[in-house]
Structure formats: C-alpha cells, structure tokens
Chain A
Amino acid sequence: MKLELKKICKSFGPVEVLHNVDFHVNDNEVHALIGENGAGKSTLVKILTGIETCNSGKILIDGIEHKFNNVLDSEAIGIAIVNQELNLFTDMTVLENLFICKESSKLGIINKKAQIEIANRTLKRLGIKVDLNQPVSDLSIGMQQMLEISKSLILDAKLIVLDEPTSALTNIEIGNLFRVLNLLKKDGKSIIYISHRLNEIFELCDTITILRDGNFVLRDRVKNMSFDDVVKNMVGYDLGNLYPPKPDVKIGNVLLEARNLSKENQFKDVSFKVHEGEIIGFAGLMGFGRTEIMNVLFGVENRDAGEILFKDKLVKLSNVQHAKKLGIGYVTENRKEEGLFLDSNIKQNILYNNLDKVCKQFIINKNLLENLTNEFTQLVNLKFRDLDQLISELSGGNQQKVVLAKWLATNPTVLILDEPTRGIDVNSKKQIYELIFKLKEMNLGVILVSSELVELLGVADKIYVMCEGQIKAEIENKDVSDELIMKYMMGGN
C-alpha cells in the first residue's frame, strides 16, 4: 500500500500540534517515524487510523483520496494499528481475541472450525506456536504483541502501524518480532514503526521520517544516515530564555542517598545522592524504571534490594507515611489521576495533604487552613479566582502549581518532581523552573524526572541517565551535549 499524507494540520483547541506535515510510505518497506515526546507522532498516527480527524490536509492511498471518520473506516481500507497498550481481552482465549468483531459465523452462531483453520494458517505463516484455547492473560507480553499483529493479518491489513512495540519485550521477543516484520515486508505489506530505540531503527527500517515540534524535518533512506544525524535532527532546539539563570547556591550535606536499589523487572543497582541545595535530574525514556524508582523512594512500592539513607541514617521507607514524616514530597507524573482531587477546591486539596498541620483535636481549624493555603499558593504563583475554586476549573499549569503547593506546605527537605511540566504551557513551565530554583535557594534537595532533555540541561546540577532500568551515566551538567545524553538514553555507549 502506498500511503501519502499531505500537508496535514491538526489543532487541539487553540494549540496547533501538527503544521503541514508530509508523510509518505511505500510498498514493501518498514518506515520509521521518529521524534521526541510531543513531536506529533501519535497524533499523526491517530489521524491515519481515523481516531482523530485532521483540520486540513489530504490522505491519499494508492493515489486515491480517503477520509477516515473512525477506526472502522481505516480498517476497511487495510490499515491496522498495534498500540503500545495492547488492545486485547485478557480473560478471553487466543482464538476469541483473534476474531473479536470479525467472527466467522452464520446466523450469529460462531463457526469455530473455520476460525481455527484461518487462525492456524495465519499463525503458521508467521511461525508462531500458541494454544488457541489458552486465555490471553497466560501469554507473555511478546506473544500478546504477536497476537495483535496476527489480528491485523486476519483483517487482511496492508499497512500496519506499530507504536513502541518493543518497550516491554525481552531481547529474544524483539528478535522474533523483527523476523515476523521482515516476513510481512516480503509479503508486500507496509509497516510504520514508531520507536525511541534508535538502534532498532538501524537494524530494521528502510526509510525514516523525523518530526520535531509538529513539523516535518526530513525523510531519507536509513542507510544514508548515521546515529548522530538522527539525534541531531530530532533534538534541534535552542535553549532560549525559558530557563532563568541558575542561582549560585553552595551544595551542602547529603540529604537522601540510594545504594544499589533493585526491583525485579523494573530497575537494577541504582545508586545516587541528593545534597542540600542540589537539583539532580533523571533522564531516560518513559517506562524504563524512573517512576518506579521514585515510587520506592516515597514508600509507595517495596524494593527487592538496596539501602536508602536519609541524612546519613539508614531508613526503611516501607510506607508513604514514613516518607512524609521524614520530609520527602512527591509530585507524581499524572497530576489528574494521582496528584489532585479534581472535584474538590484548592483549599481542600491543600488540606488533604496537611491534615495534621491544620487540625486541632480532630477539628479542622479554618484559619490555619486559610493561612497555609494563602502562603503556599503565593509561593507557587498560583492564578485563581478564589480559594474555593474547583481544581477542574484551573488550567493544566495552575493545577500543577496546586500539586506543588500542597507538597511545599508539608515543609519537605527533599522534593521529587516526576515530569512536573508535562502538558502545560510555556509560561507556566518557566514559572515552575523559577520555583525549582527558589527551592534550591531554600536548600531543598530536588529530584527532577523528565523526558525532556532540554529541561534537565536547563535546570539540573547533575544528570543521571537511565536506560532499561539501569543508570548508564552520571554526568555533571557542565558543557555536556544533549546528543551525548540522548545516545546514552538510547542504549549507545
């Protein structure tokens, strides 16, 4: 299938996320679609599969223009997508999953024999051995992925989109996936391959398209490009004035130290230190153990091995109450799900995190609460109508400031910030950076987890680069290039 997306524009509200993007995919090729988080890859794919519609631009398939209003439209043309979060029914069997909504049936009664025949033929072609009557929950993630691909073949898809297919796979499973994808290419299918792992792209793909900030950057044969070329074109930003000048604060004693933390299938041998007045950054891709480490530091999850020291004393940190008592604060990655009570007001959100501070003999003291809320909403520069305003009425940036305020109100000595600027506007971003520097001046230790390299380079004193659950490098943030860090992140050396 020859696919041409021409001059695609897409806005969400007033924000344009794709600007005149061109994207061409040919027959018999594996085409890599590359870009940083927020570059517009997933929006482009959503438009291609009919989940979103574009504001302007054309979708041409084999030269004919098409319009997709939903997934069924694109499926009918032969486009299938295998999402990062697999779309399977885990309580149902392999066979039932393969044929859901495309059952071989007569008068509503399923013809199991026919289905088994088709399934066996498809699976045999791909060289996959699996018990058709097994529930999907018993299969490995790699096998579930194979099932998704098989599903698209039963649908007779001609173009298959794979979004971060290897993020949860073992090396052997990745090898198997590549074998199957090469087989499909030989059968004349087109494959769009989205991945953050650049080495995979050099191993598997024929052609590459790079997006940056919603713009088309380049399209070329993979063999014409080097690792460094790809990285340079992906990053390509300038630091600008988004980052205020770093305050000159003397770094003090060790506040929190982790020694050889390990947790099965999540991270291994992770060691680091945070000092007074220091901002340490964690770079790495999502799902590579960063958030999992923070969960352990805050006592949300247990570790399998390793020690944690707080002010040079061994601490157990087996629950959140303990972590809070020590003076650790944790601004989580998903403010809407984990950080806030959206249907409560600003005061209540501050209250739930600081009950002990504003309660006297089990009764909430209104004045104390009012004062506390005023003090910390001012510190974070919150824009609001009044303190009884519901969180859901605030913008993303202001919501994030409420999360910061509720943690700062607990007087932490160490503050963990997991993706504190995700999905918020540039202005709020800048204010949050200013706030982080203010915390540095107040001698707090700050742990900043971010997928945005530029942010870490602009804010952190030291950067720990993670890849596949391990710390690959520990770098002082002085004269360090983003390309170097990116290389470590992608598993290079």
Chain B
Amino acid sequence: MNKMKLDIKKEDIPSIVLNYFKRNIPLIGLIVIVIMLMILSPSFLTKYNIISVLRQGSINGLLAFGVTIVIISGGIDLSVGSTLAFTGMIFAKAIVDGIPAPIAFVIALIAGAIIGAINGVLISRGKLQPFIATLGSMMVFRGLTLYISNGVPVSRLGDTGFAAWIGRGYFLGIPIPAIMLIIITIAFAFFLSKTVFGKRIYAIGGNAKGAKLSGINVKRNIVYIYMISGLLAAFAAVILVSRLDSAVPTAGISYELNAIAAAVIGGTSLTGGKGKASGTLIGILIIAVIINGLNLLGTSAYLQQIITGLIIIFAVIADRKK
C-alpha cells in the first residue's frame, strides 16, 4: 500500500485533490457556508453564537443519528417527531405527578424504545414497508399525545434539579444539550465503524438477502435498530421539554423530515448500506448554521426552508456524481 502511494505521478495530484473534494462535498459545503456567514455577519463567529448553534442543532441531531442508522439499514423512520412529543409528554406528566425527574427520564427512554420496537416488529415480522409502518405509528402516537394531554401543554416542571439541568444546564460554560450532541456523535462514530452490530447495519442495508445468507439475524437486528431510533427520540424529547420547561403536544411536528434531511445531506443513501456518523453531524450543522445565519442576517424565516430544500437536492445529486 505504501508502495502504491510512492508510485503516484505528479499529474495525478490535481485528480487526487479533485477526488478529495468529490468525496467530501458536504464538509466543503459547510465550510463555504461558514465562511460566507463570517463575512456577512460579524457576530457569527462569537463563542456565544457557536454554542447557540450547537444547542439548536442538538434536538435535530439526536433524532438524526437514530434516523441515520435506520436509513443505513435500508429503512425509514417517520415516527420520531411523534415519538418525541409522546415521550416528552410522558416525562412531563410523570414529573408533575411527583415522580423524580431521573426516573421520569428513564420511563421516557423506555417508552421511546418500546415505540421503536413496535415499529421494528411491524416491519420485520409484520412485513410492512418501513414507510407505511412508521407513517402509521407517527399518526397513532401524535394522536395519543394529544389525547392524554387533552391538547394542553404540561408546564412548570421546576427550575432546579435534573429536569432543568438536562435542557438548560451548563458544564464548563457549554450547554448540556450541546455536550450531549458531541457525546452522541462520538458514540455513533465508534458504534458504526468499530462494532459488530454497526457493521451488520451496513450489511443489512447493503444487501438484505446477502446478510441473511451470511448468518445475520436480520429480523432481530431490525427491531434493535428501530429501538435505538425511538430511544434517541425520547432522549431528544427530554432535552426539549427541559429547555422549554414545558411539554407541548404539538412538539416535533415535521422534525422527522429535518432529521432525514440531515442524514441525506450528510451522504446517507436512502437505498441503504451507506452513511457515516460524521456525515450526519455535518448535515445537522449545515441545517443549524443556516437557520442561525439567516436569523443573524435578519432575513425571512421562510427562506430557511427554501435553502434547506435546495441543499438536499444538490447534496444528493453531488453524491451520485462521485
């Protein structure tokens, strides 16, 4: 391999650079956007603003990592927004009912995992297409959230303790949600590249029949994959509820689409088998930076959707070209 590197001729160097660009279009896109915003807005590159970008990106980020592994496995999860609303409501109601916040947190996580397991079983055992199964559960859990809350937000969970800390706290001057985003990114990078389970997700998404013939228990693994997605949605829910000090039954509407957008911008292929934690992080940051930048520039909030939409289309075309 080293020998091969020495053999590279001079005229190959531009093509190597070009190849590097082609392989890292999302990263380069992010850098270009950041540079543009630095020029356009002096307050963009302040510590306060960067922290605020990370905090804004954290909710979408947690959802996006769950959705990323689902998409890598060849599926889709439309239910994460509703799961977020439902588990957030459970978290808030539990606290209001006097259950200690850490225990309420665990209850919410379990609820999220159960919703994921239902999705997974419907897909693997019930042989439903992931789109259909999770579209159904998206509507069911949105309805359930509205039903158990009577459509009314549950607020005032307290200004101290875990319930306030997880969404509003700081560690070394960095908001806890931002820290969570960083931890989850590192965990997923490790999980996807270094673990047996991670590799199996790629194998299942890349060639499900081949995965089965290699001895992978595809059905069971699919259940686990959707459980992780549900679990992360519940985690995001707790952070969101804590940050707003309120569980809103209409929270998280269309969040699933932002999560899918982040994954796709980061190079995850909807046909399965392809995707990286670093890519999804870049996708999350691109979306967060654009929202933040347009706010700083004082432009219309509606522009943000137009730009995100164009970026998705461009990212996928660019991905196919390489």
Docked CA distance A112–B196 (Å): 11
Q: Tell me which residues from 253 to 285 in chain B have a Cβ below 8 Å from any Cβ of chain A.
A: 273-274
Docked CA distance A100–B274 (Å): 16
A83-91, A324-332, A414-422, A467-475 - interface stretch? A83-91
Q: Tell me which residues from 91 to 113 in chain A have a Cβ below 8 Å from any Cβ of chain B.
A: 91-92, 96, 100-101, 103, 105, 108-110, 112
Docked CA distance A100–B203 (Å): 8
In the complex, A276 has a CB within 8 A of chain B: no
Closest chain B residue, CB of each to CB of A135 = B274
B194 touches A109 (CB 8 A): yes
Which A residues are in CB contact (< 8 Å) with B199? 92, 96, 100, 103, 110
B216 touches A96 (CB 8 A): no
B210 touches A109 (CB 8 A): no
B216 contact from A75, A92, A101, Cβ within 8 A: A101
Q: For chain B, what secondary structure do more than half of its interface residues adopt (helix, strand, loop), or is it mixed?
A: helix
Which B residues are in CB contact (< 8 Å) with A72? 215
In the complex, A60 has a CB within 8 A of chain B: no
A108 touches B210 (CB 8 A): no
B194 touches A71 (CB 8 A): no
Known contacts being A71-B213, A75-B215, A131-B1, is A89 close to B196, with CB within 8 Å?
no
B interface, size bucket: 20 to 34
Q: Tell me which residues from 199 to 244 in chain B have a Cβ below 8 Å from any Cβ of chain A.
A: 199-200, 202-203, 206-207, 210-211, 213-216
A101 touches B207 (CB 8 A): no
B215 touches A96 (CB 8 A): no
In the complex, B299 has a CB within 8 A of chain A: no
B196 touches A108 (CB 8 A): yes
Closest chain A residue, CB of each to CB of B1 = A131
A101 touches B195 (CB 8 A): no
CB of A360 to closest CB in B, whole Å = 38
Closest chain B residue, CB of each to CB of A151 = B214
CB of B274 to closest CB in A, whole Å = 5
A91 touches B214 (CB 8 A): no
A71 touches B215 (CB 8 A): yes
A103 touches B203 (CB 8 A): no
Closest chain B residue, CB of each to CB of A86 = B210
A108 contact from B4, B197, B216, Cβ within 8 A: B197
B214 touches A100 (CB 8 A): yes
A interface, size bucket: 10 to 19
Interface centre among A71, A87, A91 (most CB of B within 10 A): A91
Known contacts being A71-B213, A96-B199, is A89 close to B207, with CB within 8 Å?
yes
Q: Tell me which residues from 137 to 184 in chain A have a Cβ below 8 Å from any Cβ of chain B.
A: none
A101 touches B202 (CB 8 A): no
Which A residues are in CB contact (< 8 Å) with B214? 87, 100-101
B215 touches A110 (CB 8 A): no
B196 touches A105 (CB 8 A): yes
A91 touches B274 (CB 8 A): yes
B273 touches A91 (CB 8 A): yes
Which B residues are in CB contact (< 8 Å) with A71? 213, 215
Closest chain B residue, CB of each to CB of A112 = B194
Which B residues are in CB contact (< 8 Å) with A109? 194-196
Docked CA distance A110–B202 (Å): 14
Which A residues are in CB contact (< 8 Å) with B195? 105, 108-110
Which B residues are in CB contact (< 8 Å) with A108? 195-197
Which A residues are in CB contact (< 8 Å) with B197? 108
Which A residues are in CB contact (< 8 Å) with B194? 109-110, 112
Which A residues are in CB contact (< 8 Å) with B1? 131
Docked CA distance A109–B199 (Å): 10
A110 touches B196 (CB 8 A): yes
Which B residues are in CB contact (< 8 Å) with A101? 200, 203, 214-216
Give chain A's interface residues, CB within 8 Å of chain B: 71-72, 75, 87-92, 96, 100-101, 103, 105, 108-110, 112, 131
In the assembled complex, 16 residue pairs joining A and B whose CB atoms fall closer than 8 Å, in A order, are A71-B213, A75-B215, A87-B210, A89-B210, A91-B206, A91-B273, A91-B274, A92-B203, A96-B199, A100-B211, A101-B200, A105-B195, A105-B196, A108-B195, A108-B197, A110-B195
Give chain B's interface residues, CB within 8 Å of chain A: 1, 4, 194-197, 199-200, 202-203, 206-207, 210-211, 213-216, 273-274
| Closest 9 pairs (CB-CB, A-B) | A89-B206, A101-B214, A91-B273, A101-B215, A87-B210, A103-B196, A91-B206, A105-B196, A108-B196
